[in-house]
Amino acid sequence: MSTPDFISESFTVVVNGQPQTTTARTLQDWVDAQSVQPAALATAVNGEFVPRDLRAQRLLCVGDLIVTFQPIQGG
Amino acid sequence: MSEQQKDPVVVGSAQVKEEPAQRAGDTEQSPLPPGRSGTSPWHIGGRTLTSRFFLGTASYPSPQVLQEAIAASGAQVVTMGLRRQLAHGGQADDFFTLVQATGAHLLPNTAGCHTAREAVTLAHMARELFDTHWIKLEVVGDAHTLQPDPFELLTATAQLVKDGFEVFPYCMDDFVSCQRLLDAGCNILMPWGAPIGSGQGLVNPGALRTLRARLPGVPLIVDAGIGSPVDAVQAMELGLDAVLLNSAVAHAVDPVRMARAFKLGIEAGRLAFEAGIMARQDMAVASTPVAGHPILL
């Protein structure tokens, strides 16, 4: 019986204040799993803005605080 | 004679680098002698506009009403916000698409921020989401009045200017704190007329008059507190460069007609400023030459 080269381990992050279990290794992986247009979402991890083109480099760790922002009406 | 009295148009308009308009109709105008009109082109943040009406996009009865109100207002700049959320398609995307379709320039805000750090982070997010370096910088210092925190605002302004933003700071009408923002590299000021959403109009026109007189080349946009078109007329007659409002239109019984009313008021006020308003007199001054000469005796 063969085993896969990589077994995804799930861990918990906090997304917009709510705990969430994920297997995403990077922020980009996490965004890709959200069924949201990546360009329609701005992201920050642990209070630091993570630009779109740096999401793939941002590794996720247990307990990371992910925050996402989207456009809304405004005055 | 003051500099403003000499030529209110020259000293009251922004003197910033001009960039061709990016929206159809940005530079449309009907030439009127002596070459000025209520919709004279003006320059702000590297863009040329004809409208002096900045319109907020919140609290409208429906997306359709918002769209019609933007059209009726003639506004070439509309404000947007960001919210911490993760909505999956649908509503969020539809709204953004609707506003983009108006062709107006987007001015995202940092509403809800209470510290410079929050505001700077949100501004960077806004730049990415809305693809603009314009930012309406809001750093609120009091939950009841939604009054800006001048100290956090200054800190955030200095950082965002370094980061390449064109900062539109929602600020108090105090001259010295405004001067500090300019010293930090800000090119534009947006003093409040009254607390946000209050509809009180210009609670301190004297302070705005002082700003205009002391900062003749700086674009001044009254932001917040406008309730009626007459408030907008007053702001424009004071020589301010533009008006930003939201609630006064969105909360009107008929937002589309009110948007049109503000458009006309802002144009009338600006035209009156350019035309030069007569000096007030303490006593009556006869306008008809025969006054004082009884014609039956």
The pLDDT value recorded for residue B89 is: 64
Instruction: Kindly report whether the peptide bond that precedes residue B31 is cis, defined as omega within 30 degrees of 0.
Output: no
Residue of B211, B217, B268 lying closest to B42 (CA atoms)? B217
Inter-chain touch A71–B246, beta carbons under 8 Å: no
Q: State the average pLDDT over residues B76-86.
A: 95
Provide the chain A residues 9-68 that lie in CB contact (below 8 A) with chain B: 15-16, 34-37, 40-44, 47-49, 51-52, 67-68
Note whether A75 contacts B58, CB cutoff 8 Å.
yes
Distance from C-alpha of B189 to C-alpha of A46, rounded to nearest angstrom:
32
Set of chain B residues whose Cβ sits within 8 Å of the Cβ of A15 = 86
Q: Report chain B residues touching chain A, CB-CB < 8 A.
A: 56-60, 66, 79-89, 92-93, 95-96, 108-109, 111, 117, 121-122, 124-126, 128-130, 196-197, 245-247
Classify residue A32: in a domain, yes or no: yes
* Assigned domain for A41 exists: yes
- Domain count for chain A: 1
Burial B187-206 (b: 16+ CB within 10 A, else e): bbbbbbbbbbbbbebbeebe
Residue A33 resides in a domain: yes
Q: pLDDT tens for residues A21-42? A: 999 999 999 999 998 888 889 9
In a domain, A30, yes or no: yes
**Amino acid letter, B181:** L
Asked whether residue A74 is domain-assigned, the answer is no
CATH code, domain carrying A59: 3.10.20.30
Cα B269 from Cα B230, distance rounded (Å): 9
> H-type helices in chain A, by residue range?
27-32
- Which residue in chain A is spatially nearest to B62 when comparing CA positions? A73
Q: B171 near B148, Cβ under 8 Å?
A: yes
Does A5 map to a domain? no
pTM over 0.90: no
B196 confidence band (pLDDT: 50, 70, 90):
very high
Cβ neighbors of B237 (< 8 A, separation 6 or more) are: B269, B272, B273, B277
Tens digit of each residue's pLDDT (9 = 90 or more) over B38-53: 568 999 999 999 999 9
Instruction: For residue B13, name the pLDDT band (cuts at 50, 70, 90).
Output: very low
CB-based contact A3:A13 (threshold 8 Å): no
What average pLDDT is seen over chain B? 88
pLDDT value at B81 more than 90:
yes
Q: What is the pLDDT of residue B87?
A: 85
Q: Is A54 within a domain?
A: yes
Q: Which positions of B are annotated as active-site residues?
A: 136
User: Looking at this predicted complex, what is its ipTM?
Assistant: 0.88
Residue A13 maps to a domain: no
Alpha-carbon gap, residue B192 to B139, rounded angstroms: 13
* Chain B residue with minimum CA distance to A33: B88
Share of chain B above pLDDT 90, in %: 78
Q: Which residue of B has its CA nearest to A73?
A: B58
- Residues B208-236 have a mean pLDDT of 97
Q: Of B57, B81, B79, nearest to B68 (Cα)? A: B57
Domain that holds residue A29: 19-69
